[in-house]
Chains A and B, each alone.
Chain A
Amino acid sequence: MVKQVRIALRNCGRVNPESIEDYINARGYEALVTCLFDKKPADVINIITESGLRGRGGGGFPTGIKWKAAAAEVSDEKFIICNADEGDPGAFMDRAVLEGDTHSVLEAMTIAGYSVGADKGIIYIRAEYPLAIERIKKAIEISKEYGFLGKNILGTEFSFDIELKYGAGAFVCGEETALIASIEGKRGEPVVKPPYPAQKGLWGKPTIVNNVETFANICPIILNGKDWFRSIGTQKSPGTKVFALAGKINNVGLIEIPMGMTLRNVIDNIGGGIRDGKEFKAVQTGGPSGGCITRENLDTPIDYDNLLSIGSMMGSGGMIVMDEDDCMVNFAKFFLEFTIDESCGKCAPCRVGNKRLLELLEKVTNGQATEEIIPQIEQLCATIKKASLCGLGQTSPNPVLSTLRYFRNEYDEHIKDKKCRSKVCKALLKYEIVPDKCNGCTRCARSCPVQCISGKVKEVHTIDQKACIKCGVCYTNCKFNAIIVS
């Protein structure tokens, strides 16, 4: 059994995030000192590049290459942005790092600034994270007093300042160009790349956007070296990844595992198995842009490329475990509703396509679909993927495609047999009274909101299927388990 390894979360819960002395005792700001006095900016970038660190926000783009691109630009001004707009519903590792190890993010941003020649850092954070905001403000103040931040850091020529900018609840702002638009006080709509932010970013200046967890990996790499980092994880995805384990699993919370661990290990050993002894169905990773991992792929080593090849993605690290009670069609619908809410509306494939896609899925869950609907769904998904402007649209059909790939039988049951095996899709349910168990207590008839249950006292009752609205009130109220759902 492979154990958890803490790099990004190394200090969380171990050092007092409000005490800079505690942080310094845990080798805090040592990496910055090493960089400023012993290394040239290009050396730092080389270490990060050779370490193989990839962006932890989801895409997995090599961090060093991003830095190199921004360093190569000639400009009077450059920016380092920390993307702390954690929007993936079900993931909260960025909040944990910002609240639990605030200084490590500030230190890493300063190192990034030194490497690419930027003197300004911005943390773009969700307004919903008040504790993190408060701690960052305090940490910025105290690091300035200690000379780790501000003008002429530690007596050198290098100056770097960090300010906070607040998000206002828009998932698409996790996309770097949309995030930059939002900092500029505009609607957070993405723009076409290239030019990449590393060339033309905030206010048209070279800008690096990295995720919180990516920054949390920087200092340990500087301190322990690229070879140490490469010794953890897999060849193409070195290091660790933090996941937010949630859903129908016994141990919920944040975990940090070396890349390459199998999902089986995560669920059985770290997660302690499925809740209430139910049967495992799937794990969803990558949030609204990701897909499902099923029983057959439980032994696939987790890394960026493997997850992509099985139709999911790393994403920011949400890991939602589902059991037999979850309907996969309904689950795909849930993510699509999210995407529709969060689509910025700039390009038609995403704005209109996803809406139409949802309508098709609703037909499936309402029992109105015929067999031709599957090719229609597949075609629409392909169009949205191909024609959308940004990552949000390009990946939005993934939950549908992935559930279609692994749970085609559930779709077929909804379409052909008009049945939902997990008993989630209301329109397909049928409530019936078992004559042997019903003693005619009248409780169900009295509680039915549409009065569709008839029967005399102490006689068996019946449900009028045509009038039934499938609200389930009779089912919850019956004390004799005389009502069954099918």
Chain B
Amino acid sequence: MSEVTEYKKILPEELYRKLDSFVEDLGIDSKDPRKKGYLIQVLHKAQSLFGYLPEEVQKFVARKLGVCHSEVSGVISFYNFFTTLPKGKVNISICMGTACFVRGSEKVLKEFENFLHIKSGGVTSDGKFSLDVLRCVGACGLAPVVMVGDRVYGNVNPKMVGDIMTDCIKLANSMEENK
């Protein structure tokens, strides 16, 4: 691996160190033909640290595990959970599972889109909020469901969007202060 060209890293070095020690702790044998089995686990960790998986992180993981960058990138693009774009500080997810769909989650999504002036999958220009849809959180009894971070809002209708956004703004502000 001596021929590898250096690549630019702009994300915090400290996070890279954390990821590095996480991989070290897994105790992967570089000659193990099954070492690729750790890839998804490492990517989960990387995304939880950085928030997203841009090219520089992909290259770091590829080099660390001794697999091709193209393979890492291929895995990331395949799975919905992984993202190569940063999300907002507060991420709002609308469940589009069948139960939620039947109970009107499309209208809820529209309302959020109107409120934030972004489409599903987008981030607001100030980087505070992002909006996406997910496929079933397994809370179909509460349909339609909206998730803000770890918090779950159940039986949501378009009229509740304003109140949920009030919570989101408070959350974003408190995150700002803690910084």
Contacts and interface: CB of A to CB of B under 8 A. Distances in A.
Interface of A: 86-92, 95, 127-129, 165-171, 182-189, 203, 244, 246-248, 252-253, 284, 287, 318, 320-322, 326, 331, 334-335, 338, 341, 344
A92 B98 contact: no
A89 B40 contact: no
Contact of A253 (B40, B80, B141): B141
Interface in B100-138: 101-103, 134-138
Contacts of A169: 79-81, 134-135
Interface of B: 34, 36-41, 43-44, 71, 74-75, 78-82, 96-99, 101-103, 134-141, 143
Given A168-B43, A344-B78, A185 B37 contact: yes
A115 B79 CA distance: 34
Contact of A166 (B34, B40, B102, B138): B40
Nearest to A322: B102
Given A246-B143, A252-B140, A165 B40 contact: yes
Nearest to B82: A168
A379 to B, nearest CB: 27
Contacts of A321: 102
Q: Which 7 A-B pairs have CB atoms at the shortest separation, nearest pair first? A: A89-B97, A92-B138, A169-B80, A246-B99, A168-B79, A90-B98, A185-B39
A186 B78 CA distance: 9
Nearest to A335: B98
Given A89-B96, A186-B36, A170 B79 contact: yes
A185 to B, nearest CB: 4
Nearest to A129: B138
Contacts of A185: 36-40, 75
Given A92-B138, A188-B78, A247 B103 contact: yes
12 contacts: A87-B135, A89-B98, A169-B80, A170-B80, A184-B34, A184-B36, A185-B36, A185-B38, A186-B36, A246-B143, A253-B141, A334-B98
Given A167-B81, A247-B102, 12 more contacts: A86-B138, A90-B98, A90-B99, A128-B134, A184-B34, A185-B39, A186-B71, A246-B98, A246-B99, A246-B102, A320-B99, A344-B78
Contacts of A91: 136, 138, 140
Nearest to A86: B138
A128 B102 contact: no
A346 to B, nearest CB: 11
B141 A166 contact: no
Contact of B97 (A90, A165, A170): A90
Most buried by A among B36, B37, B82, B102: B102
Contacts of A95: 138
Contacts of A253: 141
Nearest to B150: A130
B102 A326 contact: yes
A171 B36 CA distance: 21
B78 A90 contact: no
B98 A320 contact: yes
Nearest to B72: A185
A81 to B, nearest CB: 13
Contacts of B43: 168
Nearest to A130: B150
A214 B156 CA distance: 33
A88 B102 contact: no
Contacts of B38: 185
Nearest to B76: A168
Contacts of A183: 37
A200 to B, nearest CB: 15
Contacts of B135: 87, 89, 169, 171, 338
B93 to A, nearest CB: 10
Contact of B78 (A87, A89, A127, A170): A170
A266 to B, nearest CB: 15
A127 B138 contact: no
Contacts of B99: 89-90, 244, 246-247, 252, 318, 320
B71 to A, nearest CB: 8
B140 A127 contact: no
B44 A166 contact: yes
B98 A318 contact: yes
B58 to A, nearest CB: 14
Given A248-B103, A326-B102, A168 B81 contact: yes
